[in-house]
Amino acid sequence: MSSLQGYVDRRVLLILQDGRAIVGIMAGYDQKSNVVLSDSKERVYSPDEGVEEIPLGLYLVKGDMVVLIGEIDDALDAAVDLSTVRAEPIPPIRY
Amino acid sequence: MLIFSVFKTLTDQQVTVELKNDLSITGVLKSVDQFLNIRLDNIKVSDETRHPHMMAVKNCFIRGSVVRYVQLSAENVDTQLLEDATRREAMNQVKR
């Protein structure tokens, strides 16, 4: 069973079907990969500006919307100065 | 169910998963479940300059429904066995 066990209470990056990227602490999940994130922030990427972080607080994301959940290595993440990162946003899912 | 078993035999192998948002992620397959959700370790996104979003991510969970392709190395799959097994499964489904 490849579950989300092991991500609880960790800082995770959530990528959604519409291309949004949200970082937060995984508070809980269920069978359908519905996910609750606490202290979450959306990271908005743009090609001509640094990354903007928008605080969202406690978020429940429906499993249908989830593309990927990645565990963030805090040391690596702290080493990156987000204001210098220029990138296209992640494309949305196309079926 | 058959493909689920195939993936289970591929754990701890290096695979490349292409998602429906055109992201390609290479990593070591850690586990799979019945929805073909995939856990990858030691991941690397191809074209990292274009996709720096996952720089700080080392292992991830990918939802089965967003996977477009999984690239496997040919030597890890017994194609003849797989061919026979898929045909047998297809036959059984017709009978039912």
- The whole-model pTM stands at 0.91
Please name the residue that has the structure tokens 């690239």: B71
Alpha carbon of A65: minimum distance to chain B alpha carbons (Å): 10
Residue B63 CB neighbour total at 10 angstroms:
22
CB-based contact (8 Å) between B50 and chain A? yes
Q: Give the ipTM.
A: 0.91
Q: Can you give the pLDDT at residue A2?
A: 60
Residue A1, pLDDT > 60, answer no
- The answer to whether residues A21 and A87 touch, using CB atoms and an 8 Å cutoff, is no
A64 vs chain B: nearest CA distance in angstroms?
9
Q: What are the C-alpha distances in Å from A40 to residues A22, B66, B90?
A: 7, 23, 46
List B59's β-bridge partners, or say none.
A71
pLDDT higher than threshold 70 for residue B84: yes
On whether any CB of chain A is under 8 Å from the CB of B83, the answer is no
Residue A51 in tokens: 């990354």
